[in-house]
Amino acid sequence: MTNALIVIDVQNDFCPGGTLAVPGGDEIVAPINAMMEDFDAVILTQDWHPVGHSSFASSHTGKAPYEMIEMPYGPQVLWPDHCVQGSKGAAFHPDLRTDGDLIIRKGFRGAIDSYSAFFENDQTTPTGLQGYLNTRGIKQLTLVGLATDFCVQFSAVDAARLGFDVMVRMEACRGIDLDGSMASAQSAMRDAGVILA
Ligand code: VGL
Ligand code: ZN
């Protein structure tokens, strides 16, 4: 049975010193590097936005980071500019091992955000990861990374809905925690059948 580790968005902008720093984001780098040894496949994701992306507060006049707006596909949190394609902030944390099998980028369409590694925030536009995993015969996924309550949560819930066996190793994740989003992320993952370890 092929068991894959999916490392979500361990990028400079989500680590201390980055524009959307997740508290303790860099603390998970060493544990994730060590975990890579235990998996048959290692897949890394990268949040990868064009300049002026619609999820950036700076793209909406009069809006500040962490305010909500209504997008055609539903409510969307507005973020500080982050993970701009090709920037230092979008690069992986310099100590993260990046010698995995696949790097998948998401959020590259200007008009739509993508938290999940499987589908963009419209819940329908695929990233291609499901097809990759299926063609490799991978059914068991362990997720780690940033941020627990956004990209890790959305990826884990989508993976469980798609029929994968999904575990999230919480000690190798860190969260943003906006308005109780850590608690709601944990219950959403549990409700979807994700094992929280
Ligand atoms: C993320 C907010 C905006 C994440 C990405 O990786 O959790 N959060 N873009
Ligand atoms: Zn983003």
Residue 92 pLDDT: 99
pLDDT, tens digit, 9 for 90 and up, residues 110-121 = 999 999 999 999
Average pLDDT (37-56) is 98
Q: Which ligand is nearest to the Cα of residue 85, counting in written order?
A: 2
Average pLDDT (34-45) is 97
Q: Is residue 13 in contact with ligand 1, taking CB distance under 6 Å? A: no
The whole-angstrom distance between residue 4's C-alpha and the CA centroid of its chain comes to 16
Q: Which tokens is 7 given? A: 């490392």
Bond preceding residue 172 cis, omega within 30 of 0: no
Phi-psi region of 118 (alpha: psi -120 to 50; beta: other; left: phi over 0): alpha
- The packing angle between helices 153-161 and 181-191, to 10°, is 10
pLDDT, tens digit, 9 for 90 and up, residues 57-113 = 999 999 999 999 999 999 999 999 999 999 999 999 999 999 999 999 999 999 999
Residue 2 pLDDT: 84
Length in residues, the chain:
197
CB 127 within 8 A of CB 114: yes
pLDDT, tens digit, 9 for 90 and up, residues 168-197 = 999 999 999 999 999 999 999 999 999 999
Average pLDDT (132-141) is 97
Catalytic residue among 47, 106, 149, 158, which? 106
Burial (Cβ within 10 Å: 0-12, 13-18, ≥19) of residue 17: exposed
Mutate to test the pocket of ligand 1, among 146, 149, 155 (most ligand atoms within 8 A of CB): 146
* pTM for the whole structure: 0.98
Mutate to test the pocket of ligand 1, among 6, 7, 8, 9 (most ligand atoms within 8 A of CB): 9
SS3 74: strand
CA angle at residue 107 from 190 to 71, to 5 degrees?
Answer: 80
